[in-house]
Amino acid sequence: MTATRNCARRLIAAYDGGFIDPIAGELPEKTIDAAYAVQMEQVGIWQDQGRRVAGRKIGLTSPVVQKQLGVDMPDFGHLMADMIFGENLPLDPARLQQPRAEAEIALILEADIDNADASVADVVCAIGWVVPALEIVSSRIADWRISIHDTIADNASSGLVVLGGPARRLDGLDLVDCTMEMSLNGEVVSRGRGADCLGSPLNAAAWLARAAAAHGTPLKAGEVILTGALGPMVSIAPGDVLEAQIDGLGTVRTLIANPELEKSA
């Protein structure tokens, strides 16, 4: 078994419990491309199991989040269809590893973007709908001791996604100066604005389009694009209720199921 496939299988096994140590040192070459090769190996395994790629996520776009995790560049991961939820459906904590939440702007594409030099204009032309979103990020790496190579290999620390509403067309939306406020159990825990995401969520989406094309997996119509955190992420636990509001766009709300309370009810 190759080192790439071995790393991918160890990460997949960690979804069922038992975190692993950082794997950057185990990569065939300690390069960004080698880390993405591990990620793509996992995506291939998931597809063989019948799962479907339904979008991408951009990670580490916020300077605050970069500082939290000790990295200095964005990355991207794949969203499988069974990772994406609507509002107010209890999320299964068993599907989350060391979960943290962040509020984002999500784009739903109505056209492919397959240009290796994709611009913001290409992104604007391809956007069908814009919605507020919550991403519940997770890490299979013990204690979040990640380098950029670890998080890329671990599918950009993906977990679950919740899409809010209303779904809006891009025309008339201000994605740069819009403000975000996220609350946890009724208490505000994170604030930010569109400009905190690489200057604009559209800049982030253009970066993703170029990066995805460069790795041979261009963005497709119908995909959900998470453009990156608008503010600091926060740790969450079973029983927590999360809500985010993005001015001019809408709100998104979710809750983490608490199996222990359900057993005692």
pLDDT digits (tens, 9 = 90+) for 164-202: 999 999 999 999 999 999 999 999 999 999 999 999 999
User: Mean pLDDT across the chain, nearest whole number?
Assistant: 94
> Rounded to an integer, what distance in angstroms lies between the CA atom of residue 3 and that of residue 160?
27
Residue 27 falls within a domain, yes or no?
no
> Rounded to an integer, what distance in angstroms lies between the CA atom of residue 150 and that of residue 146?
5
Phi, psi of 47 (to 5 degrees): -65, -40
* Predicted local confidence at residue 259, as pLDDT: 80
Q: What is the mean pLDDT of residues 240-264?
A: 89
**Is there a contact between 212 and 74 (Cβ–Cβ < 8 Å)?**
no
**Sorting pLDDT into bands at 50, 70 and 90, what band is 17?**
confident
> Rounded to an integer, what distance in angstroms lies between the CA atom of residue 38 and that of residue 134?
26
Q: pTM, whole model, 2 decimals?
A: 0.93
pLDDT of residue 122 exceeding 90, the answer is yes
| Domain count of the fold of the chain | 1
The answer for residues whose C-beta is within 8 angstroms of residue 49's C-beta and 6 or more apart is: none
Strand-pair partners of 105? 132
DSSP letter at 90?
P
Residue-number span of the structural domain to which 161 is assigned: 53-264
Amino acid letter for position 32 = I
Phi, psi of 75 (to 5 degrees): -145, 180
Residue 162 falls within a domain, yes or no?
yes
The answer for residues whose C-beta is within 8 angstroms of residue 16's C-beta and 6 or more apart is: none
* Predicted local confidence at residue 100, as pLDDT: 97
* Predicted local confidence at residue 263, as pLDDT: 59
Phi, psi of 98 (to 5 degrees): 55, 55
What CATH number has the domain bearing residue 164? 3.90.850.10
Each residue's pLDDT tens digit, 26-68:
988 889 999 999 999 999 999 999 999 999 999 888 777 677 6
Residue 43 falls within a domain, yes or no?
no
Residue 19 falls within a domain, yes or no?
no
> Rounded to an integer, what distance in angstroms lies between the CA atom of residue 236 and that of residue 180?
18
Residue 11 falls within a domain, yes or no?
no
**Sorting pLDDT into bands at 50, 70 and 90, what band is 144?**
very high
**Is there a contact between 119 and 77 (Cβ–Cβ < 8 Å)?**
no
Residue 24 falls within a domain, yes or no?
no
